[in-house]
Amino acid sequence: MSRAIRIAAGQGFWGDWLEAPWRQVTGGAIDYLMMDYLAEVTMSIMQKQMSRDPQLGYAKDFVPLMERLLPELVRRRVKVTTNAGGVNPRACAEAVAQVARRLGLAGKLTIGVVSGDDLLGRLDQLLAAGHALANLDTGRPLREVRDRLQSVNAYLGAAPIVEALGRGADIVITGRVTDTGLTLGPMMHEFGWAADAWDLLAAGTVAGHTIECGAQCSGGNCLVDWQHIPDLANVGYPIVEAYADGTFEITKHAGTGGRISVAGVTEQLVYEMGDPGSYITPDCVADFTTIELRQRGKDRVRFSGIRGRPATDSLKVSAAYFYGFKAVGTLVYAWPDALQKARAADRVLRQRLSDLGLEFETILTEFVGVDATHGPLAVRDLEPRDVPEVQLRVGVRSPHRDPVERFTREIAPLILNGPPSVTGFAGGRPKPEEIVAYWPALLAKTEVQACVDLVRV
Applying CB under 8 A, the residues found at the interface with another protein are: 40-41, 44, 136-137, 221, 223-224, 263, 266-277, 288-293, 323, 326, 328, 362, 364, 366, 368, 372-378, 381, 393, 395-397, 435-438, 440
Q: Is the dihedral of CA 224, 226, 231, 234 positive or negative?
A: positive
The dihedral built from the CA positions of residue 36, 261, 272 and 308, taken in this order, carries a sign that is: positive
**What is the residue type of 158?**
A
**What is the SS3 assignment for 171?**
strand
Instruction: Give Cβ neighbours of residue 362 (< 8 Å, ≥ 6 apart).
Output: 395, 396, 397
- φ, ψ (nearest 5 deg) of residue 55: -85, 0
Of 290 and 312, CB closest to another protein? 290
Q: How far is the CB of 45 from another protein (least distance, A)?
A: 9
In the complex, least distance from residue 140 CB atom to another protein, rounded to whole angstroms: 13
Phi and psi, residue 146, nearest 5°: -50, -45
Closer by beta carbon to another protein, 116 or else 395: 395
Q: Taking the CB of residue 350, how many other CB atoms lie within 10 A of it?
A: 14
Q: Which is nearer to another protein, 70 or 363 (CB)?
A: 363
How far apart CA 199 and CA 245 sit, in angstroms, is 9
Calculate Rg over the CA atoms of the chain. 24
* Helix 62-76 with 89-102: angle, nearest 10 deg: 60
- Which one-letter DSSP state was computed for residue 353? H
Nearer to another protein, 275 or 359 (CB): 275
Shortest Å distance, C-beta 277 to another protein: 7
| Whole-angstrom distance, CA of residue 310 vs CA of residue 314 | 12
Q: Smallest gap, in angstroms, from Cβ of residue 395 to another protein?
A: 3
Query: What is d(CA 22, CA 412) in angstroms, rounded to the nearest whole number?
Result: 44
Q: Rounded CA gap, 251 and 230, in Å?
A: 15
Is residue 237 within 8 A of residue 219, CB to CB? The reply is no
Q: Which is nearer to another protein, 193 or 367 (CB)?
A: 367
Strands 292-295 and 149-154, sheet pairing = unpaired
Nearer to another protein, 80 or 349 (CB): 349
Residue with Cβ nearer another protein (197 or 378): 378
Question: Which residue number, 163 or 249, has a Cβ lying nearer to another protein?
Answer: 249
- Provide, rounded to whole angstroms, the least separation between the CB of residue 215 and another protein: 13
Nearest approach, Cβ of residue 243 and another protein (Å)? 20
Q: How far apart are the first and last CA of the chain?
A: 37
Asked whether the beta carbons of 183 and 177 are under 8 A apart, the reply is no
CB of 436 to another protein, least distance (A): 6
Question: Which is closer to another protein, CB of 32 or CB of 439?
Answer: 439
Residue 363 CB, nearest distance to another protein (Å)? Answer: 8
Q: How far is the CB of 25 from another protein (least distance, A)?
A: 28
